[in-house]
Each structure stands twice: as structure tokens, then as C-alpha cells.
Amino acid sequence: MSRLFGTDGVRGLANETLTVELALKLAQAAAVVLGHQTVPEGKRPVAVVARDPRISGEFINSAVRAGLASSGVDVLDAGVLPTPAAAFLVDDQDADFGVMISASHNPAPDNGIKFLARGGEKLTDEQEDAIQRQMELEPLRPLGAEVGRIDRFADAEDRYVVHLLKSLPHRLDGLKVVLDCAHGAAAGCSPQAFTDAGAEVVVIGADPDGLNINDGVGSTHLEPLQAAVLEHGADFGIAHDGDADRCLAVDANGTVVDGDQIMGIMALALKDAGRLRDDTLVVTVMSNLGLKLAMQREGVQLVETKVGDRYVLAGMKYGDYSLGGEQSGHVIFSDFATTGDGVLTGLQIGARMAATGKSLAELAAVMERLPQVLINVKGVDKSRAATDPELHAAVEAAEQRLGETGRVLLRPSGTEPVVRVMVEAADESVARREAEDLAAVVQRELALA
């Protein structure tokens, strides 16, 4: 049986691969694995359910709620909220688990179902596998008063916004910010949080109609935000993705500030406040070498994990670290969140600007982002990438030529017959030349028979 869960829940084209029937069975199975098997006998499990505003979320939400309630789980329906809000509310309400219906930065026709364990934490592989096995069994069918109830979680958004404001070390008074909400789940709570924090707020991408999520706006399309920041003379801009678990920023000049730069800024902010535990930042192997060099200079140690925010979370939990994230803008503040939180991250950026009196460009200058070239080599035997002697020798030779200010990373794709070749160097032409040469070696040595 093939594995149903991907790197972040179960995703697919809504009504084709992600159907009502699948959503119902997933919910019924999760009711057992995350609910009845974990609560004391006689206690009814409780689940928080939320979604982003894409149109298919309406019928998938209905199927999920029906599956949970029919299996004896009480449901708190939080409506349209970001993924990190759902995670916070699971913990805040002492719920047994949560369900987030979203396909994040994907286009509107896609959707996904993501489960959150007690405390708002992402599931382990073992928990996901247990849910998939449970789907093969008959669902629970309680009768009468034993079926679950479905209640509207009326103050869910307010609770989340209050939580965000409590995290701030400094108000944002005097700052002007443009927020691009990607016509997604942050369209309501992000403008509210920034306004309550004292900022002057200009909002774009905050008119979701169910079909326009991530469509030419948000963290995957930064041009509208850059233009709006310049047009309104804003101090900075924040771009969310569809479920607002990440953000990217734009400075007053319209220059993009990526996740690595944001992590550099926040690592120093937490270090100055004595809240960067063990003076350590957790990143993935894809983080720019410029971040590593900057953190070495500032006395911050880096711990590297595999690509994926779940691996960053695991690394943070293992070492009890307070900050981690990805270049894509997933930034995790473990003192306040169990997952990446784009609204929280944006607020923390603003708080650092207000506290220091520095522009975002000045803060981002903590690191020099080295040129990074990525080439996806398709149609190859990725299983031999780590063992092929000719390829290993080519990588070693490239690393010697690049020295301490360059880096090579070969990474087989987790889902496709693709090997990703990434090269960083102080000079972009050098990075591109080395990447293209290595890509040619990968194509030659790992060619499919």
C-alpha cells in the first residue's frame, strides 16, 4: 500500500484525488488514532477544525466535521484561519487534536488535510501511518448521545490575535506597513494584529473569493507588494502565503528580504534579549552560506536539518532551541508557536525595527546573501547520487575550487526522478559554471538505463 501522507499532510486536486469520501475516511480514522486512543475512558475527544478560504474547503470541511462527529468527537469549528492559528488553538483549548484544511501556497483547485496532535504539534510519521492503517478498518459508529457535537468557535480569531500581541517585545507605533495576505487565511487576522500593535496598515490581497488564493499575490508573487511599498512610502512590507504559515518581507526600497535574512535579524534580536537558547539557530541545508558566515561572525551556532519545516521543528525540539526556519519564510519561534507563523514573524520584524530605530534594509545587512544557483536534473537514477564515484569526485573538486566562500549541495528529490544541484559562490558566474558542470556529470553518470 502506497503512503497516503506527503511531506505536509494529504494533498491533491480537490474533488479528483482529494475527495469527500477520502476526507470522511481520514477524519474517521483520525478520530480513533488521535482521539479515542489518547483520551481517558469516558472522556469525549475534542478537535479544532479550520480552513483557508479556497472554495473546495467548504465541502471538505463539511466532510471532515461529519467524519469526526459521527465517530464521537466534539468539533470546534474555527472557520477561516491560518494554520498557525489552528495549531495555537489546539493547545489553547486543550483539545486532543486539530485539522487544518489548506494547500498552503498551491493554486485554488488544490487542497489538503493536515492533522495536528495534542499541543498543536505536527504528526510523526508513526502517527500518520497509524491513521492510514485505521482507514482500512470499520469506523466507530456511536449512537444517541455518544455522537459528537459541532460548535462554532466564535472567538477563535480574537484569541489568536491576542496571543500574537502578547508575544511582542515592542509596539509598532510610527511604522507604516503593507500587508499582502495572498487572498488567503490571513486576510482578517493579519491586518487586525498589525493595527492593534500600533502600525499604520495598508492591505492588498485581502479579498478572498474562494478562487483567487495565491493568484498573482502573496509570498510566491512579490511584485505587487514591492510596488505597493514604494507607492505608499511604507517602511516595509510583509507577504503571506495562502495559509499564512510563512512570510517574506520587502524593505522600503522594494528589495526582497528572504527567510534566511529574516532568521538572521531575529536571531540577533533574541540573542540581544537573552532569549536565543544556547545561542543557536536551526536551519535547513538549503539556507544560504551567507547566513552561516554572518552567524559565525555574530557568535551564533547553526544546526542544519533536512529540507522541510517538520525537520526544522524536530531539530528545535531535540535541542530545545528557540528559533529556526527555512529560506522560504517558514520561521518558527518555539516560545510562541509550534509551527511556522507568518503573522507572528511579520510582527516580530516590525518590533525589531521599532525597538532599534533601524530600517529593514539596515537590519537585513547583517548577512550578505551569496549567489545561489539551483539546477534540477530530471530523468536520472537518484538512488545512486550518494554512491557514484565519478560524481563524488566531481563534487569534491568543485568544493576545493570554491573554498570557504562557496558550497555544493546535491539532493535527490523525495517524489520525482530528479537530483537537485545547488551551488553557492561569492561570484554568480562562478556558481553557475560549477552548477552547470556538476549537472552535466549527474546527467551522464546517473542516466536511466
Q: Which of 56, 70, 71, 104 is catalytic?
A: 104
Task: Tell how strand 200-204 and strand 176-180 pair up.
Answer: parallel
Q: Is 77 within any annotated ligand binding site?
A: no
Answer for the pair 446, 419: CB distance below 8 angstroms, yes or no: yes
Q: Is 74 within any annotated ligand binding site?
A: no
Residue in the block written with cell 502578547: 166
Q: How far apart, in whole angstroms, are the C-alpha atoms of residue 27 and residue 23? A: 6
Nearest-CA neighbor of 443 among 423, 418, 425, 407? 418
**Whether 287 is catalytic:** no
Q: How far apart, in whole angstroms, are the C-alpha atoms of residue 447 and residue 449? A: 6
Other CB atoms within 10 Å distance of the CB of residue 395: 21
Q: Is 173 within any annotated ligand binding site?
A: no
Side-chain half-sphere CA neighbours of 276 within 13 A: 23
State which H helix or E strand residue 67 sits in.
helix 56-70
Q: How far apart, in whole angstroms, are the C-alpha atoms of residue 14 and residue 23? A: 10
Other CB atoms within 10 Å distance of the CB of residue 352: 21
CA dihedral 121, 125, 131, 133 (to 10 degrees): -170
Q: Give every CB contact of residue 376 below 8 A, 6+ residues apart in sequence.
A: 413, 418, 419, 420, 421
Q: Give every CB contact of residue 427 below 8 A, 6+ residues apart in sequence.
A: 371
Residue count (the chain): 449
Q: Hey, what long-range contacts does 197-201 have (CB within 8 A, 24 or more apart)?
A: 197/165, 197/168, 197/171, 197/172, 197/347, 197/350, 197/351, 198/171, 198/172, 198/173, 198/174, 199/172, 199/173, 199/175, 199/350, 200/175, 200/176, 201/176, 201/177
Other CB atoms within 10 Å distance of the CB of residue 46: 22
Answer for the pair 291, 269: CB distance below 8 angstroms, yes or no: no
Enter the DSSP assignment of 106.
S
Q: Is 104 within any annotated ligand binding site?
A: yes
Annotated binding site: 104, 241, 243, 245
Annotated binding site for Mg(2+): 104, 241, 243, 245
Q: Give the residue numbers annotated as catalytic, written as ranges.
A: 104
